[in-house]
């Protein structure tokens, strides 16, 4: 799947019932993430789906998120090859933050995208 063929969604177009899958690393997640998102670092996605997929099912609309959209595009392509209804968040967490959408951080500190 070529990068231009990977379906993407803008922040304001995310379906209300979508599962948000954040594939960033642990320190990125801790610094700032979307409340209610599922966190599975990119390299752990295949293993995680095999033993504990949680809400990430082939029937669900899965919006895949990283910092700018590169890693999430790769995961989106892989998920689609596996039969999932996955789309990439265009612009990633930087776009989410720029749109003024709420974020939270671990440890009670102000949230930021790193």
* Residue 27 domain-assigned (yes or no): yes
* Residue 113 domain-assigned (yes or no): no
pTM for the full predicted model: 0.95
Q: Are 71 and 42 in contact (CB under 8 A)?
A: yes
* Residue 86 pLDDT: 98
Catalytic residue among 66, 93, 95, 113: 66
* Residue 3 pLDDT: 56
In tens digits, the chain (114 residues) has pLDDT values of: 555 689 999 999 999 999 999 999 999 999 999 999 999 999 999 999 999 999 999 999 999 999 999 999 999 999 999 999 999 999 999 999 999 999 999 998 999 999
* Residue 65 domain-assigned (yes or no): yes
* Residue 19 domain-assigned (yes or no): yes
* Residue 56 domain-assigned (yes or no): yes
For the chain, list the strands marked E by DSSP.
8-9, 19-22, 38-39, 61-65, 85-89
Count of domains forming the chain: 1
Alpha carbons 89 and 86: distance in angstroms, whole number: 10
- The residue range of the domain holding 62 is 3-108
Q: Are 21 and 38 in contact (CB under 8 A)?
A: yes
The CATH number of the domain holding residue 66 is 3.40.250.10
Note if 66 is an active site residue: yes
């Amino acid at each position: 799947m070529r990068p231009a063929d990977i379906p993407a969604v803008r922040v304001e177009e995310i379906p209300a019932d979508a599962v948000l899958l954040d594939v960033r690393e642990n320190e990125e997640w801790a610094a700032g993430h979307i409340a209610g998102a599922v966190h599975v670092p990119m390299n752990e996605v295949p293993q995680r789906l095999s033993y504990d997929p949680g809400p990430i099912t082939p029937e669900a609309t899965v919006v895949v998120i990283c910092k700018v959209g590169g890693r999430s595009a790769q995961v989106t392509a892989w998920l689609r090859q596996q039969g999932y209804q996955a789309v990439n968040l265009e612009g990633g967490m930087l776009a989410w933050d720029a749109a003024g959408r709420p974020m939270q951080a671990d440890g009670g500190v102000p949230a930021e995208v790193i």
